[in-house]
Structure 1
């Protein structure tokens, strides 16, 4: 994409104006909306099935109630905080350029709707997960019958527990695809040809809330998890979810607010943002049908997700729970591809010349069949999801060589465990990036000489990957539900023997599914970002035509040989590193506070160890809540304001390069963090299952330390990069007309550009400075040999 943008300006606006929503297309979109509503109805049916299961003993119920209370309290406080931020962005969006006030108002209103849907998806995922976990534990408890009762079939018990956990995820999956598709359909029905502009707001609302929920929830869950492991397992030598550990309730709360609520919101915004990009590009590339076809593909995915979720029914011949999950995933993927093929040949014309509403001669004269382009592009997305699923599973499953190799290194200490995990993460990132790159490039080649068709093919590959999202979300939620079930069982002491082993096996499968879904989420982020990158390119072209910008302006070029663009590329890569560092450092500070609080309780209340005193669980929950809400602001401000600084300082060409740098670096960084963390976690499970000395051995302590390093990698920084990329792309897309107007138009104003850039940079620098100035949880050994925390969070956490 070298050279100035103005050569595009004559064709693009007329193409945008030509596309309309015909009566036939309107009927199709109405049917798609009905499919979305059907997904919500199926979700309600699954909720009833999950809640119909037994909840176990009174002790198990009381522990589950504590987790529910903590999760609800945290998420309510977080949403109140984010509500204020959403209102501010609502009014700021009204100030950005648009064709008319109805577009501005619609963009702002649907920003709030996107934010609300994203928050609702996350909240619903958390709400059901904290009720399902005790039911999974109760189902596993049946493996150990009461004295005198006949023994239960262990396989049947395991299958029942797994089905409850996976159908809990199915509820979240149905809400994700249902709300995402419903929101996009409503925008298209109301705004027709103007829908893509309004959908920018919808996507931004979903992405912003998802990023904050991902960062905040990730900080909460990993601060509690790291603190609980370091003091409980390593220092006190007690099991992971031992009730004597004051951080156990916070750890279980964190699993839900981080993995369930955060990941559900993350995948929802991936769904929304990919649809935004596909509709923006589809309107230009395919004209009238481009306003409906990008919705038709994920609508098929909704139907096949229902099939896939119910297809996850474990069989006796299955080697493990992953076999059943893989079967459901691949059944869903294959049926999706077949149904998309039928829809493509039934709905699309056989030549580009027959596409109504398209005026670009490069597209109308393009040789080939649009049906082939659409089917192959969607197929690339579906195949990419399957390949990422298998590749990630290879690097994170306990039965595969990479995890077993890390387990072996535990015999030589924690340093080699950490080194082996980093090595595997770095290596796997390359393979994943190559797969994603091949997918993007393969879709791009379908466009031939037309860049617009090529970009639309990339967006269609993203919608193809979306056909598997319903099952992917179910796989992800399965992980924390299984983890929490094991925690409740261990804390209550009411699930022993075979039942405890059932939960251990489910937890190991859950670790793998979480890693797989993170890998696929990264792929959706890259495809969405690549498609949005094309949308950004065309937003500039349209803005250039509107303000009569000069064709020779260097700031309008994406030529990477220009120094300003090269600087933008480097800055984009740098922001990913800074964002990741801020997130990991936030976990480190908060985890340090948890460590000191748990140590204090063991020191001041020695009766905790013999069960004569009860830990103060509420204090740790409070520390994690305060720190998470405090720490999420800085990464969020960086994501929103950094593109503004680059755009208004270096120009739209440099801003495009900035996005390219962030996409490339973010892809590698996210996969590295997710896979290394997942491999460390399952290496710990491997040792706990009896390998290399088992629990309590030096090898076990080494893998626990590796796991604590990997926790913020895989559950905080890594997953948060996905919404980071999409937030930055959407912000760039929204500000591009303003940057062109104030930088290159007839009414260009250097003063306004400088003012906006300086204000944004000042906020970023101030936020990072404040973050770095916060107390770091380190200990100063006093004369009595006891450690005192200098963390402000520990000092502040004085209430239960």
Structure 2
């Protein structure tokens, strides 16, 4: 009779997946971290004069220093707030929740800082490689983003594992021998771990919001220079140009990494908590081995993503904008196919042939795997739907282009219709996935489906981070005066539709991750909490209002920052007559 693997064996799989991802990231980083003049293929450097090469490096240094300064400023402001929350959690909840929150803040902030270090170190080399051909420039940018994606996800997975084992020992769960006491101890353990997701979300909120405010202010100031003095937004004579690129790096790359990783942390914690509430062994006991599958899925997704990225760099050659679009789209599909087979093996090894629920019912061992697959393949449907609606070569965009011939009114109307119509298929698939998961395994199945959606997260981060890296490289090429050919090649990297699908999925992940945590909350109070209760309904109304209030505060703050940056840019133009 088959015997499922132990929790220790699952930990080995997690460590192996994380080690492979980190090793692959280190190998890619060694390839892209060479100075421009010391590249193995120095032909691109020969096409760029020494003066321009020095100018590239000097401009890249300015953007890097500005990005680090902005990151540390927002981090310093958030640190005091985080310290207050840690103290409040220790007093109001538990010391373990406070520890988990602080750990989540530190890991998320570290991932954001690491993404800045890698991205700002390769922009100059990406620009220099564009002097030769688009393929080398494309692969330098994509390799840098893969380094970020694999490292960030592997570190988050290891951080969850370390926190789990640490709290398991600190709370004394290994001393509980009776099933009731062990189950209660494990549920307390995973309740404490929710603080880790809260900490990651806090760091993501600080990083993303402050970065977006700065980016929008700098972007508006750069556009103001174009309107007032006919200075293009990317002109070296525009005082807001460097600030614009700094904001793009911090908001679109560092903030995006922290945002997606906070969703990953939330889903991991929800899946662990729900597994402790829903599942039991064949003898009705609670055991840590029941959480093995939730830990193994991201590790196997890391392995599948490594294999997919390797095939991308070995087999794919880029010669045009369409090749960039197909390459960025295919890499996630290949990872999904490989990860499906690996996750089936993981589900087979980590489950008994019959999965037992705490309330007594049973289901087949393939059911958790199917829930993961539902999320994984629905995410690929989101990807395809967003690509179809936004790619310039596809019918919807071509119809929109034809509508432009009738004037701006029909263009706006047709564009709104296209955007609203494009929401149907992703929403329909999401509804089917949620229905199947909830019918099969309840909220635990829903958490597993989101884990499946996130199983290729390293490559989704890589694809989403590709645009800000390519945009900064193109900006450096303009500022350094490298000429038309590098600029055209780098613009081909930017003008892709690849930015849309990951951001669509980021919204989906954030929403369903919140729903998973809500399911974990309901697992503790399944009968006492009903939507028709007075307090619950009033809370729903207030909760629905908060996003609008928060958005209003955010827009108002952004307007104030824009006013300050625009005024400073105008003053510099007036004082420094040489700018014009």
Relative to the length of structure 1, the TM-score reads 0.63
Shift of 1:593: 2.9
Q: Does 1:35 align with 2:28?
A: no
Matches within 5 A, 1:588-607: 588-607=559-578
CA distance in 2, matches of 1:406, 1:483: 25
Q: Does 1:477 align with 2:460?
A: no
Conservation of the 8 A alpha-carbon contact between 1:26 and 1:189: no
Other-structure match for 2:349? 346
CA distance in 1, matches of 2:246, 2:239: 13
Q: Does 1:67 align with 2:69?
A: no
SS in 1 for 2:422: helix
Shift of 1:125: 0.6
Matches within 5 A, 1:85-104: 85-97=81-93, 104=94
SS in 1 for 2:36: coil
Other-structure match for 1:525? 510
Other-structure match for 1:206? 200
CA distance in 2, matches of 1:66, 1:325: 29
SS in 2 for 1:68: helix
Q: Indicate which of 250, 253, 257 corresponds to 2:246.
A: 253
Shift of 1:417: 5.9
Query: Compared with structure 1, are the counterparts of its residues 538 and 34 closer, same or farther at alpha carbon in structure 2 (3 Å cutoff)?
Result: same
Conservation of the 8 A alpha-carbon contact between 2:10 and 2:295: no
Q: Indicate which of 516, 529, 547 corresponds to 1:557.
A: 529
Shift of 1:300: 0.3
Q: Does 1:242 align with 2:254?
A: no
CA distance in 2, matches of 1:241, 1:412: 31
Other-structure match for 2:181? none
Conservation of the 8 A alpha-carbon contact between 1:163 and 1:312: no
Conservation of the 8 A alpha-carbon contact between 1:461 and 1:527: no
Count residues with an aligned counterpart.
Answer: 535
CA distance in 2, matches of 1:309, 1:342: 21
Shift of 1:412: 7.1
Query: Compared with structure 1, are the counterparts of its residues 111 and 30 closer, same or farther at alpha carbon in structure 2 (3 Å cutoff)?
Result: farther
Other-structure match for 1:182? 158
Matches within 5 A, 1:314-329: 314-315=316-317, 319-329=322-332
Shift of 1:505: 0.3
Conservation of the 8 A alpha-carbon contact between 1:37 and 1:182: no
Other-structure match for 2:8? 26
CA distance in 2, matches of 1:408, 1:224: 33
Shift of 1:171: 1.1
Other-structure match for 2:283? none
Query: Compared with structure 1, are the counterparts of its residues 263 and 488 closer, same or farther at alpha carbon in structure 2 (3 Å cutoff)?
Result: same
CA distance in 1, matches of 2:425, 2:228: 38
Q: Does 1:462 align with 2:450?
A: yes
Cα deviations by residue, 1:333-357 (Å, 9 ceiling, x for unpaired) = 00101111122123312223xx4xx
Shift of 1:73: 0.8
SS in 2 for 1:65: helix
Q: Does 1:337 align with 2:313?
A: no
Shift of 1:198: 2.5
Other-structure match for 2:311? 311
Cα deviations by residue, 1:261-280 (Å, 9 ceiling, x for unpaired) = 10011111111111000000
Cα deviations by residue, 1:428-480 (Å, 9 ceiling, x for unpaired) = 3454333323321221122xxxxxx3111101001111111010011111110
Other-structure match for 1:501? 488
Conservation of the 8 A alpha-carbon contact between 2:530 and 2:536: yes
Gaps of 5+ in 2: 38-44, 46-52, 169-185, 281-286
Q: Indicate which of 468, 488, 492 corresponds to 2:480.
A: 492
CA distance in 1, matches of 2:407, 2:579: 30
Conservation of the 8 A alpha-carbon contact between 2:142 and 2:463: yes
CA distance in 2, matches of 1:585, 1:37: 45
Conservation of the 8 A alpha-carbon contact between 1:187 and 1:195: no
Other-structure match for 2:290? 290
Cα deviations by residue, 1:532-557 (Å, 9 ceiling, x for unpaired) = 1111112335xxxxxxxxx8xxxx43
Query: Compared with structure 1, are the counterparts of its residues 133 and 521 closer, same or farther at alpha carbon in structure 2 (3 Å cutoff)?
Result: same
User: Whose Rg is larger?
Assistant: 1
SS in 2 for 1:499: helix
Conservation of the 8 A alpha-carbon contact between 1:29 and 1:189: no
Shift of 1:410: 6.0
CA distance in 1, matches of 2:147, 2:167: 30
SS in 1 for 2:238: coil
SS in 1 for 2:236: coil
Other-structure match for 1:617? none
Cα deviations by residue, 1:209-258 (Å, 9 ceiling, x for unpaired) = 011111111111121112212432x4444433110111100011011111
Query: Compared with structure 1, are the counterparts of its residues 397 and 581 closer, same or farther at alpha carbon in structure 2 (3 Å cutoff)?
Result: farther
CA distance in 2, matches of 1:342, 1:161: 37
Matches within 5 A, 1:351-500: 351-352=354-355, 355=356, 360-361=358-359, 364-366=360-362, 368-369=363-364, 371-404=365-398, 421-446=415-440, 453-494=441-482, 496-500=483-487
Gaps of 5+ in 1: 1-21, 98-103, 143-156, 447-452, 542-550, 610-800
CA distance in 1, matches of 2:85, 2:294: 28
Conservation of the 8 A alpha-carbon contact between 2:268 and 2:294: yes
Other-structure match for 1:171? 147
CA distance in 2, matches of 1:135, 1:415: 43
Query: Compared with structure 1, are the counterparts of its residues 80 and 406 closer, same or farther at alpha carbon in structure 2 (3 Å cutoff)?
Result: farther
Cα deviations by residue, 1:729-773 (Å, 9 ceiling, x for unpaired) = xxxxxxxxxxxxxxxxxxxxxxxxxxxxxxxxxxxxxxxxxxxxx
CA distance in 1, matches of 2:265, 2:236: 41
Conservation of the 8 A alpha-carbon contact between 1:30 and 1:185: no
Relative to the length of structure 2, the TM-score reads 0.86
CA distance in 2, matches of 1:414, 1:247: 29
Other-structure match for 1:715? none
Shift of 1:372: 2.2
Cα deviations by residue, 1:282-338 (Å, 9 ceiling, x for unpaired) = 112233333211011111011112122223333268842021122211111001011
Other-structure match for 1:583? 554
Other-structure match for 1:44? 26
Shift of 1:421: 4.9
Cα deviations by residue, 1:154-204 (Å, 9 ceiling, x for unpaired) = xxx211111110111111111221111101111232334353122111111
Conservation of the 8 A alpha-carbon contact between 1:311 and 1:327: no
CA distance in 2, matches of 1:418, 1:583: 26
Cα deviations by residue, 1:107-134 (Å, 9 ceiling, x for unpaired) = 2122111111101111111111111111
CA distance in 2, matches of 1:348, 1:87: 40
Aligned Cα root-mean-square deviation (Å) = 2.4
Query: Compared with structure 1, are the counterparts of its residues 583 and 515 closer, same or farther at alpha carbon in structure 2 (3 Å cutoff)?
Result: farther
Cα deviations by residue, 1:649-690 (Å, 9 ceiling, x for unpaired) = xxxxxxxxxxxxxxxxxxxxxxxxxxxxxxxxxxxxxxxxxx
CA distance in 2, matches of 1:178, 1:196: 20
